Structure 1
Amino acid sequence: MTDPATPTIPGTTPTTPDAPRSDLHELLTALAGDLRNVGYTVDGVAALLGESAHTALARDQLIPALIVTDPAALNGDSTTDRAKAALAVVVRLWLLAVPQTEDDVDAALPGIRTSGLAVLGLVEKNDAGAVAAKVDVRPYGWEGDSGADSSGSGGAELWVASDLAAHQRPGVLRHDHVLGIGQASTTLLQTTIRRHSKRALDLGTGCGIQTFHLLHHSDHVTATDISARALAFTRFNLMLNAEALHLDPADLESRVSLRLGSLLEPVAGETFDLVVSNPPFVITPRSAGEHASEQFTYRDGGLPGDDIVATLVRTLSDVLAPGGTAQMLGNWEITAGTGWSERPASWLTGSGTEAWFIQREQVSPELYAETWLQDASEGRDRKLYRDAYVAYLEDFASRNVESIGFGMIWLRRPADGAVDAGTVRKEARRRFEEITYPIEQPIGPHLAAAVERADWLDTHELADAYLVVAEDVTEERHQRPGAEHPGVILLRQGAGLRRTNLLSTELAGFASACDGELSVRQLVGALAAILGGGADFDDEAFRAGLLDDVANLVRDGFLHAAG
């Protein structure tokens, strides 16, 4: 029975095939209450499994958790034992995908019971009469989005439904598989700069996890996807967590709009303050006559090579309000004899969009093929695996691709709209850097600070500034035994992007004198007086070069304005 108070959002229906129903408000309320009462939360599951089994489960290794939750290991007569046994039933049903008896499910979830779960499309009876999971439903929580404003960023206990993953089910994944919370989605969550926005866009929402976070600092979120099943899962997750997300189930459209369609088509003519996207960026071989149903919609954009990411980088500024930003993940192809940044840079030709690319990984075509064939469990079919592997290598070879890069992308439409096509205000506005070592997470607040520093440099006269060394910065000096002076002087950051900067003698002297007492102009002048004086000393070039080096230290966060 459909709840008439719950509107159907465009792009979804209450009965999308093989997707959970989101139109039965009473059942959803009962399910949320049962999950909360049985302790099916992030902390509750961690306490039940213990550190070792919980850590293994995060690696998709089920055996330790199966051992810990075995009914024989949890038998007991105390209230505590019965509570653990009830939670174990839910953990085994959804996280471990082990069918449970109807009596055990009814006892663990007495408000909704097996019958209600079946109506919602979350479980089904198998041939043996046991209750089997049709989808994955798992707890999700966070302490609050660092950097979000006071409009509401408190922690929340939520539940997220998605399709069963490769380690939970046999066979190759279905092509319209709806991905759960994976490494890529978590990376984007940690990367996103959290500031209040009136309108935000979650492009390629999947199960809706980015929308969850956007709701905490955005007045309204539009979530799009090319898959009707993905939008149905997103709607289910929003309705299941309506209370925690401060949503009105009877008026969901006032905060969230779900749109079905490809790329920017569903939002043509609209603008947003913030766009986030974990797009289907995986580079997948295309074959003649291939139909969209043969592609994995959660990862394959349907375009050759890295064109899906290229298209978004070129067009996202069309839906950004002045000063609006976009953050996304992506792959890019690196052809033989070229640097990794050449192709991403070409996507910005003729555009006034500001951009920052950070490459986090670079892999060979062979490793790339192995990663994504394993992702969809295609290795379970030996012939399919071989044919697909060969297709990957031939596809990359056809474009002379030597390796594939992965990383984070930040874009901004200039606030004043006055930047001429093909130009930027400063070189830093088109930044390409490779950072493959571990960085601090979440990195979003540090990226925000970096953008603010670049903006500060644009609007202030650096020579008149008074600078101090950032609190997380340390200095290292290396010299050979017996040497009078160090041969290497390094500045290291302990936080954020954790950069290391090799200093010249004059730059090291400048940094050591940055205590906020003298201006940059005064410090540069003092160093010119100390180190200059020779006939071949170019005072003007020395001052200009040192000033540029100081600007880089400010831009990277080693130095900042005093006060």
Structure 2
Amino acid sequence: MTGLPCRDLAVVDRLAAGLRAVGFTTDGIEAHLGAEVSAALTGGVRWPALASVEDDRPLSTLIAVFLLGEPRPAADLATALPGVDPRDLAAQGIVALTPGGEVSPILDVRPYADDAGEYLVFADQDAGRRAGALAGDHVLGIGGASVSLARAVIRRPVQRALDLGTGCGVQALHLGAHSAQIVATDTNERALALAAATARASGQSWDLRRGSLFEPVADETFDLIVSNPPFVIGSGDQDYIYRDSGVPADGLCAQLIAGLPDRLNPGGVATVLANWVVTDVEDWAARPRQWLAGTGLDAWVVQRELADPVSYVSLWLADAGESPERAARRGRDWLAYFDEAGIVAIGMGVLTLRRPVDGRVRFQVVEEITGAGEEVTGDEAQAFLDRQDFLAEHSDAELLGMRLAAMPVMLEEQSLLGEDGWQTVGSAVRRPGGPGATIALDEVSRALLVGCRGQVELADLIALLAAHHGVDADALASAAMPVVRDAIARGILYRAV
């Protein structure tokens, strides 16, 4: 087979119908394999599933071929998919037929579900399920980055959405639940072909366009933009389209951020995954702050990981499945480029960006949040924007006149063992499940937080505390307001109704 895969969407239709008819769905596969084996497969551990599909049951055959990358007799595949001719699948680059009468998988075709529906995703097999290095136009399937981005997107109804760098179409699938119109772009023609198959098999319709960054959308604007771009930091070579932009260092991400203000409608939001160069680990935020300067965008930038060059390069070398010799040569050159460019670390994270309706920037927060379970979610991102708006719209004097209440939070204390027993040396309050939802407390702020039950105005509460501690109420208010604002920003305090 030559050319692009899945050109005949009628074959895609028949394949999708056949797969669903025999229970090739997320629930069906879990029931077939068992919850533990299914969870292991989702996590990238294949051997339990391999041991579970050694029989010739139809669903075993389909799991082996499309999820595990295992060859099976063509007759077994034909039996598992009545009405689907393996020769048609081969003609569309979905499987290959061997002289021995077996089908050898080319594509990864897998069910995928969210709260809105069940889908089928067409992508290339990853390095763990095929021999040799990936092709230059390899199309990634569902991975950790795509799932993280999908979770971080604010899911509100919008008219027009753009998936920039769609790949196999995972982000566009999610957009289908709350977007009236979806434009999805990619520079990789193979990616667009597989995205078209993903959309067709999942009952969706997208406007697919080929081109780099915002070129395919000219001067159009959108209410929501999501992007998982080829953000890998390198010298500017483009060995693998899915990861290498062809632009040195983090230049592509810089261009993407710079182009957002003109492509977002007022009030529009963009959620972007990005990597950025770090030349001083003590000032890791320098590059994303540089990206934001002059954009006129509200921003919440969260660094989830700071990688050293060796770890970073090792990650991406393993991802490509190259031979040890080729990987060693590429790694040597890669590290030499980092050294020459003065890159001592690479920041990795998610950016939530918004074009203000009135053109007035209210906040640009760049912070590091690395805790497990503190990943950015769409709900938390929307709440963060709302809280920042609230703070921008209310002065300290107005806050002092409000009744504030605390969310369900946990007090965490750090103690040292001394001659007199345990001595508390620090304390903080945490809102469980919120990214970065922690603030340090001293004795007064601890007491202030206890008093925030939505019953007393903040000014009166501070006055009571001032009288108890024998200090000036105005001075205490001035000292307390930064803590109060931080607590509101982190979703720990809120205005009681």
Cα distance change, pair 240–478 in 1 and its aligned pair in 2 (3 A):
closer
SS at match of 1:357: strand
Tell me if structure 2 keeps the 8 A contact 1:356–1:430: yes
Q: Pick from 209, 213, 216: which aligns with 1:259?
A: 209
State the distance in 2 between where 1:42 and 1:340 align. 40
| Offset from partner CA, 1:416-438 (integer Å, 9 cap, x none) | 12x3xxxx33xxx1111111111
CA displacement at 1:544 relative to structure 2? 1.7
CA displacement at 1:120 relative to structure 2? 3.5
The answer for the alignment partner of 2:21 in structure 1 is 37
State the distance in 2 between where 1:60 and 1:404 align. 25
| Offset from partner CA, 1:337-393 (integer Å, 9 cap, x none) | 641101111112223211111111111101111100110112x2x331121011111
Tell me if structure 2 keeps the 8 A contact 1:138–1:161: yes
State the distance in 2 between where 1:431 and 1:123 align. 48
The answer for the alignment partner of 1:302 in structure 2 is 246
The answer for the alignment partner of 1:358 in structure 2 is 302
Which amino acid in 2 is paired with 1:97? G
Which amino acid in 2 is paired with 1:217? H
CA displacement at 1:476 relative to structure 2? 3.4
State the distance in 1 between where 2:76 and 2:44 align. 25
State the distance in 2 between where 1:442 and 1:393 align. 31
State the distance in 2 between where 1:347 and 1:441 align. 22
SS at match of 1:296: coil
Q: Pick from 402, 420, 432: which aligns with 1:465?
A: 402
Corresponding position: 1:166 with 2:127: yes
Which amino acid in 1 is paired with 2:39? T
Cα distance change, pair 302–484 in 1 and its aligned pair in 2 (3 A):
closer
Which amino acid in 1 is paired with 2:109? V
Equivalent positions of 1:207-356 (< 5 A) are 207-242=168-203, 247=204, 252=205, 256-286=206-236, 295-336=239-280, 338-356=282-300
The answer for the alignment partner of 1:517 in structure 2 is 455
Query: TM-score when scaled to structure 2?
Result: 0.94
State the distance in 2 between where 1:187 and 1:513 align. 37
Which amino acid in 2 is paired with 1:453? R
For this pair of structures, how many residues does the alignment match? 492
Which amino acid in 1 is paired with 2:232? V
Tell me if structure 2 keeps the 8 A contact 1:16–1:232: no
CA displacement at 1:237 relative to structure 2? 0.9
CA displacement at 1:498 relative to structure 2? 5.6
Equivalent positions of 1:7-406 (< 5 A) are 17-24=3-10, 27-71=11-55, 85-142=57-114, 144=115, 154=116, 156-242=117-203, 247=204, 252=205, 256-286=206-236, 295-336=239-280, 338-378=282-322, 380=323, 382-406=324-348
Cα distance change, pair 296–63 in 1 and its aligned pair in 2 (3 A):
same
| Percent pairwise identity | 38
| Offset from partner CA, 1:160-203 (integer Å, 9 cap, x none) | 11011111111100000011011100000011111111111100
CA displacement at 1:440 relative to structure 2? 5.1
CA displacement at 1:441 relative to structure 2? 6.2
CA displacement at 1:333 relative to structure 2? 1.1
Which amino acid in 2 is paired with 1:310? A
Cα distance change, pair 486–167 in 1 and its aligned pair in 2 (3 A):
closer
State the distance in 1 between where 2:180 and 2:368 align. 34
CA displacement at 1:477 relative to structure 2? 4.4
The answer for the alignment partner of 1:548 in structure 2 is 482
Cα distance change, pair 498–341 in 1 and its aligned pair in 2 (3 A):
closer
The answer for the alignment partner of 2:365 in structure 1 is 431
CA displacement at 1:298 relative to structure 2? 0.5
Q: Which moved more, 1:98-107 or 1:49-58?
A: 49-58
CA displacement at 1:456 relative to structure 2? 1.5
Tell me if structure 2 keeps the 8 A contact 1:193–1:444: yes
State the distance in 1 between where 2:447 and 2:422 align. 16
CA displacement at 1:240 relative to structure 2? 1.2
Which amino acid in 2 is paired with 1:265? E
Which amino acid in 1 is paired with 2:369? I
SS at match of 1:457: helix
| Offset from partner CA, 1:107-148 (integer Å, 9 cap, x none) | 110022323323433122113221121211111112x1xxxx
Which amino acid in 2 is paired with 1:318? D
CA displacement at 1:308 relative to structure 2? 1.2
CA displacement at 1:214 relative to structure 2? 0.5
SS at match of 2:76: helix
SS at match of 2:38: helix
| Offset from partner CA, 1:510-547 (integer Å, 9 cap, x none) | 100011111112222222333244xxx6x544322211
CA displacement at 1:49 relative to structure 2? 2.1
Which amino acid in 2 is paired with 1:309? C
State the distance in 2 between where 1:238 and 1:178 align. 15
CA displacement at 1:29 relative to structure 2? 3.2
RMSD: 2.1
Cα distance change, pair 441–363 in 1 and its aligned pair in 2 (3 A):
closer
SS at match of 1:366: helix
Q: Which moved more, 1:274-283 or 1:38-47?
A: 38-47
State the distance in 1 between where 2:36 and 2:421 align. 50
Tell me if structure 2 keeps the 8 A contact 1:22–1:232: no
Cα distance change, pair 385–508 in 1 and its aligned pair in 2 (3 A):
same
The answer for the alignment partner of 1:79 in structure 2 is none
Cα distance change, pair 478–175 in 1 and its aligned pair in 2 (3 A):
closer
SS at match of 1:132: strand
Q: Pick from 452, 457, 468: which aligns with 1:530?
A: 468
SS at match of 1:323: strand
Q: Which runs of 4+ in 1 moved over 6 A?
A: none
Which amino acid in 2 is paired with 1:474? M
Cα distance change, pair 521–16 in 1 and its aligned pair in 2 (3 A):
farther
Tell me if structure 1 keeps the 8 A contact 2:369–2:436: no
Q: Which moved more, 1:310-319 or 1:436-445?
A: 436-445
Tell me if structure 2 keeps the 8 A contact 1:123–1:132: yes
State the distance in 2 between where 1:409 and 1:441 align. 12
What 5-or-longer segments of structure 2 have no aligned partner? Answer: none
CA displacement at 1:47 relative to structure 2? 2.2
State the distance in 2 between where 1:267 and 1:526 align. 59
Equivalent positions of 1:413-428 (< 5 A) are 413-417=355-359, 419=360, 424-425=361-362
Tell me if structure 2 keeps the 8 A contact 1:16–1:229: no
State the distance in 2 between where 1:128 and 1:16 align. 21
